[in-house]
Amino acid sequence: MPYRMGLLSIFGPTRPQTVPTDQIVPLRQWDDLHYLRSLCHDFTFRFDDVLDAAKLEAALGRLMEIGDWGQLGARLRLNKNGKLEYHIPAEYDSNTRPAFIFTTAEYGMTINEHPLGSQLPKTGQDQSFLSPTSAVFRPLVCHQDSPRELADWIYTDRPQLHVHVTLFQDTTLLTVSYIHTLFDAVARTNFFKAWIAVLNGRETEVPPFLPFDQDPLCTLGKGASRQNYTNFHRLLSGLSLVLFGLRYLWELFWFHAEEEHSIRLPGHCVNQMRESACHQLTATTAEGVEPPFLSEPDIVSAWWVKTLVTALNPSRDRAIMVMSPFNVWSVFSEQFPSGGKGFIGNAFFNSYNVLDVGEVLEDDNLAYLASKNRQALVEHRTQEQVHAMTSIQRNSIMSIPPLVGKSNLLFMTHTNQHKARYFETDFSAAVVATGVPLSERPHALGRPSYINDIEHCRLYPTRNVCRVIGKDAAGDWWLLFKTRADAWPAIHQQLKALLEIDDLLADGADYQPAISYQESSYSKANSRMMGALMDFYTFLKLLV
């Protein structure tokens, strides 16, 4: 059973006794960060096929027996110094101390016959460009005992992973629940690839697991000069950081109501925007000079920044800071000689793009915004810059990433998970029956048609954080983000203007989500005032 923080827990929750035969390993430097402790995920693949749950479980069990992959079953503990550590069992027992938790739920109907299941988006739909929050589907995609906060691990003997499979007559939902300290979005795909290799009977393709007691990034920032950071002169510190914190707290307090929705951005729209942007850059680039390269994710990021800033309508004197995480496996290839294969952990840092509100809101400027995003990424994704950034981060309170810009900045984060290629994940080896006929869908057998990612945030605000899940088989892009509730009607209008399909969206001009918004689990437990006070408390801890 998950552990839930109640009144008695304040006075001394009971932690499990240490098992003498367990190997105790401190978490790596960049895994045990305060904000990673606060984030837990229920990551779901929707397959329009019927998968064999027993075969999935057996393959995962076999993976845990290969090399050091069994370390995934480590128990998470908080030691007396406030540091997280792994307690790795010497052996596992499926009944008393399993390497993972695997649960199933079976419905004797098609998914469209289920009241909630019928609302779950999928690839190739004609409508539902704006979908409800992923958290609405938790009763469908998770077991009632699935974990959702750090306490569910450190005050129990729960293994790192809880896998839940929901079976319909034509659809399978495969969910992995975990805490962010275990891995980031790119390393998560290492886990799926290893699992699938076993599922396909190709165990020789499972890469060696990098043991938890080996940290390829342990020296990052040590001895590096902070002054080498390209934005060193723009760092928020001292009074400017305090002022930013107060402004952000006021935003959370005054506009406490927030909503999260999933957006499907049609691929033809992204292609048109990219072609137009590339044409603009070519026209303004000097003859004989190669125009800047723009990727589809660059365009998606630029569209999101412009759309959100327009909807929030901040004052013109404010700065916009867009923080974009990137993976460093290729930046530090000498530390990752296998290209990151077999690495389970966090290896991401951030690029920073600082903009003025005025330049964001200019007409027909997606080319400029996208090129600025690309320029910031190229500038930050070097060994020198990562070392300088991590030197700053090591010396900050709770090792939080630096903030860049002005004290009145509008904080935004854009994380591009397309690199993980989740929509190309191939579980066809577990398919026992086809759900939607292959001739009626764009995705192949055993490939996901939708990805539902529920993020549980405890005492860590994630407003204006966009997760680009990736591009599906139909070429459409899926974005998931949370912002002020009163901004969503304006976002909806901008989406309609882009799509130019007002007649396909519900009731014309009025904004209506596909399912009425439901607050996430931690929001339900607190009143709006209590939530604001908790946010205030958290930020005081970060800033003081």
The catalytic site residues sit at 180, 426
Asked if residue 375 lies in contact with residue 294, where contact means CB atoms within 8 angstroms, the answer is no
CB 494 within 8 A of CB 303: no
CA 291 from chain centre, in angstroms, equals 32
CA 399 – CA 391 distance, rounded (Å): 10
Coil, helix or strand at residue 93: strand
d(CA 199, CA 239): 55
Q: What gap in Å lies between CA 184 and CA 277, rounded to an integer?
A: 31
> Count of CB atoms within 10 A of residue 250's CB?
12
Q: d(Cα 216, Cα 210) in Å, to the nearest integer?
A: 9
- With 0-12 / 13-18 / 19 or more C-beta atoms within 10 angstroms meaning exposed / middle / buried, residue 80 is exposed
Q: Of 446, 191, 176, which Cα lies nearest the Cα of 343?
A: 191
| CB distance 101 to 162 below 8 Å | yes
Who contacts 277 (Cβ-Cβ below 8 Å, separation ≥6)?
294, 299, 302, 366, 367, 370, 371
Residue 524: CB atoms within 10 A of its CB come to: 9
Residues 6+ positions from 263 with CB-CB distance below 8 Å:
129, 130, 131, 478, 479, 480, 481, 495
